[in-house]
Amino acid sequence: MKLIKSLRNVALAAMLFSAGVANAALYQFQLSGDYAASWQLNSTVLSDLPSDGEGFVLWDIAGDFPGSAEEVVDLAFYNGAIDGGMEILDFYGNNVLFSAVGFQLYTGSEDNPTFRLGTFALTEYLGAGRYSLTVTDLDALPEPPVDVPEPASAALLLGGLGVLLATRKWRQAR
């Protein structure tokens, strides 16, 4: 009995130590238009600079940002109440690389936002440029391809069933 309790406790401890924290999904952001950029972020992030009802900023995000001085930028995402959209800020080069209004790109609070998936139209802030931001889940499993049987496979199946039926009838006749 003592051995069983010890084994149970060891198994319970092993389960607790092997249990991991659930990870947020990894999202790919692809900006296209007059300015193109790409980067990856978790689906949920902790804001570096949240502002209730206005938006939030993430500092030092690595990615492909043409024109950035240090290959990292600060990303600002804005609440829909103030026209949504986002900005790409090159803090180290003291330059705004991209600024556009449009859809609110996140849900939840500015302290703990969750990014939306899809393709979003953005318009240059105080300008006429049009852009598209596509956010995809890199962790999502692709849909499995639908197998369509070939005619030869169907004919082989029907032929096999015919042989089985003929064999059964032959045995019953004997």
**Tens of pLDDT along 69-92?**
998 999 999 999 999 999 999 999
> Looking at the domain assignment, is residue 9 inside a domain?
no
CA distances from 74 to 48, 52, 91, 156 (A): 10, 18, 7, 62
Task: Measure the CA–CA gap between 38 and 78, rounded to whole angstroms.
Answer: 18
* Residue 19 reports pLDDT greater than 50: no
Beta-bridge partner residues of 40: 28
pTM over 0.85: no
Which range among 74-78, 113-117, 158-162 shows the weakest confidence by mean pLDDT? 158-162
pLDDT of residue 10: 44
Cα-based torsion angle of the residue sequence 132, 100, 61, 29 in order, rounded to the nearest 10 degrees: -10
Residue 35 falls inside a structural domain: yes
Residue 39 lies in a domain: yes
Bigger pLDDT: 6 or 27?
27
Residue 116 belongs to what domain range? 26-137
Note whether residue 21 is domain-resident: no
Average pLDDT, the chain: 84
Provide the percentage of residues in the chain whose pLDDT is more than 90.
58
Residue 14 has pLDDT above 80, yes or no: no
pLDDT value, residue 119: 96
Give the chain's domain count.
1
Interval 31-48 mean pLDDT = 93
Q: Is 71 left (phi over 0), alpha (psi -120 to 50) or beta?
A: left
Is 30 contained in some domain? yes
Q: What's the mean pLDDT in 1-24?
A: 48
pLDDT confidence tier of residue 163, bands split at 50, 70 and 90: confident
- Is 19 part of a structural domain of the chain? no
Note whether residue 33 is domain-resident. yes
Determine, yes or no, domain membership for 162.
no
